[in-house]
Amino acid sequence: MQSFSIAELILAGFTRHYQLFQSITQQTGHAFAMQEWSAIQQLSKSRISHYDRRVDETIDRLKASLPCTKLNEPLWYQTKQDYLELLSFHPQAELAETFYNSVFCRLFHRRYFNNDFIFVETTLKDAPALPIEAEYRSYFPVVSGLKPTIKEIIKHIEFKCKFNNLDRDIKLLMKAFIRQAPNTHHKSYMMRFDILQAPFYRNKGAYIIGRVVSKSGVQPFIISVLHHLEGGLYIDALLTNSSQMRVIFGFARAYFMVETHAPSALMRFLNQLMPNKTPAELYNALGFHKQGKTEFYREFLAHLNNSDDKFAIAPGTPGMVMMVFTLPHFPYVFKVIKDNFAESKPFGRDTVLERYQLVKNHDRVGRMADTIEYSDVVIPKNRIEPCLLEQLNNTIADSMYDEGDMLVIKHLYIERRMTPLNLYLQNADQKQTEYVMRDYGLAIKEMLQANIFPGDMLLKNFGVSKHQRVIFYDYDEVQYLTNMKFRDMPKTDLTDLYCGMDEHSAAPQDVFPEQLCTFVLTNPTLRAIFEQTHPELLTANYWQQAQRDIKNKVVKHVYPYPQSQRFTHLDKIKKERREH
């Protein structure tokens, strides 16, 4: 088999992958219009495992035509060059590079993972970039006026169902722009709208994303669209605040479902709206998590090449299942499953792998950190602090091997670094403490709505993000909420219960919500705040009702923006003021 034929075969595998990926994505619009929420969840889940199946198919086709047990170096060197030629004007070239890497890396040994054979570094840096205009459409209010232009934008989005009262929504939208974005206070003939052509779907919401261009500069915005209880759609909120926009695209949320022909152009448009977001983060948010993984690894290599900080043990309480370390000047943590668990963890490595995959496939509702999973990660030994190296040898010896100056970790997870909640509280003032404890309770409630039982709810297993959101990140005890049994505490003495002297016994799946205060919130101040803000979480009935809602297919909407941003919320405030 000639090199060009191999290149064509791999590219054909990628083409099939991308066509099927977009076909799955296209179904989301219909499901949103029909309010088929479980279908959207299933479509989102199916896309995550879709990539690996297409890589396996391509490898099977290669093996049927070519002996792949040993690398023919001249053949595969030329194959990469031929593949490069095929990508010269390919609209998804960066994704096709990653697909090639996946195929090659599953066929051959790690010693060949260099730029001679794979795309460790992208070859597209010097290639002409796809114009971002391929992904958006421009509108000019000078032609027909502001309100008709907004109507035209909504019409072109093609939501496949009508709005409940679009005239009302447009009035609210225009008022919100005036209130939130003073730089857009221009005559209609002095501005332009650039709107991404496809809506962004996630869970029960759809989003219109664009920017206002005027003499004052560029104002990015996100418009949230939901289904009205009385039928039809309505605009729920306008977001112009950069921080709020970044939270919507945050690492703790499910991937968006959005159609795109030129992912790199879409990513660059979004990057112009949110400059602090990295390409890896944006590709992840768009559902191209394998490309996000590639971009992240390039960021990681660039950091190692341009810094001298050393890997060290991550701040926080040491875990009983994971060995966690970090690079001080790189905003991530590295997690490796320990060889042996504490006695209080009655499960093994396979269970941990399954639970991390459960979260990967699930709606994370903005409360569970995304993880990037890698195999055979090479770390220079001279970049590892001696005390960390000793800990690694003591805790994860079975998950790594030595290659002279390098340490190779067989399997690890990487997560965005946050401040562990227990450490954050040590230095928080009263206002900060009250805020994060309220958000801690909200995080638990929102996970319950997504059928997630976090298991170990100790404060050390939650982190505080730079946006002051409480995020859960320890998944070794995660289970589906509906698999648990929530009970009120027996009326007998607790000592008798644990001594087995009571007729009430605790099975492995039994949970007593009242014990949140007993074992998690031992600090009286924290307990008082929690009891005041979330007393219902201490009752079995609340958790049981959450289970019933899930079993009855009641899908609740988790708003990825403050309630104060909602137009319905503002209308309610105005009504209350008039009544008083």
Q: Has 13 been labeled as part of a binding site?
A: no
Q: Which residues of 124-151 are buried (b: 16+ CB within 10 A; e: fewer)?
A: beeeeebebeebbeebebeeeebeebbb
Please state, in angstroms and rounded to a whole number, the distance separating the CA atoms of residues 272 and 263: 14
Cβ burial of 563 (10 Å; 0-12, 13-18, 19+) is: exposed
Q: Specify the residue for token string 């000078």.
A: 142
- Give 181-234 as a DSSP string: -GGG-S-GGGEEEEEESS-EEETTEEEEEEEEEETTEEEEEEEEEEE-TTSSEE
Cβ atoms 421, 464 nearer than 8 A: yes
Does residue 441 have a known ligand-binding role? no
**Helix axis angle, 430-449 relative to 524-533, nearest 10°?**
50
Catalytic residue among 169, 363, 370, 476: 370
Report whether 91 belongs to an annotated binding site: no
| φ and ψ of 479, to 5 deg | -145, 165
Q: What does the DSSP 8-state code read for residue 130?
A: P
| Residue 370 annotated in active site | yes
The helix/strand count (H/E) of the chain reads as 20, 19
546 is in an annotated binding site: no
Q: How far, in Å, CA of 197 to CA of 133, rounded? A: 10
Query: Burial code of 297-334, b = ≥16 C-beta within 10 A, e = fewer?
Result: bebbeeebeeeeebbeebebeebebbbbbbbeebebbb
Strands (E) located in 338-486:
372-380, 400-403, 406-416, 419-420, 452-453, 462-464, 470-472, 479-480, 485-486
Pairing of strands 200-202, 406-416: unpaired
- Distance, in Å, from the CA atom of 121 to the CA atom of 300, rounded to the nearest integer, reads 12
| In contact, 383 and 310? CB cutoff 8 Å | yes
DSSP3 helix / strand / coil % (the chain, rounded to 5): 50, 20, 35
232 is in an annotated binding site: no
Q: Which two tokens stand for residue 569?
A: 């919320």
Residue whose pair of structure tokens reads 């190296």 in the numeric block: 389
1 is in an annotated binding site: no
Structure tokens at 309: 């900080």
- Angstrom CA distances, 224 to 189, 235, 461, 474, stand at 25, 6, 31, 31
Q: How far apart, in whole angstroms, are the C-alpha atoms of residue 50 and residue 515?
A: 41
Nearest alpha carbon to residue 422 among 315, 548, 344: 315
- DSSP structure string for 56-76: HHHHHHHHHHS--SS--HHHH
Q: How is residue 546 written in tokens?
A: 């959450």
Between 73-86 and 3-33, two packed helices, what is the crossing angle to 10 degrees? 50
In one letter, which amino acid is 128? P
Binding residue positions: 314-320, 335
Binding residue positions for ATP: 314-320, 335
Q: Which residues are part of the catalytic machinery?
A: 370
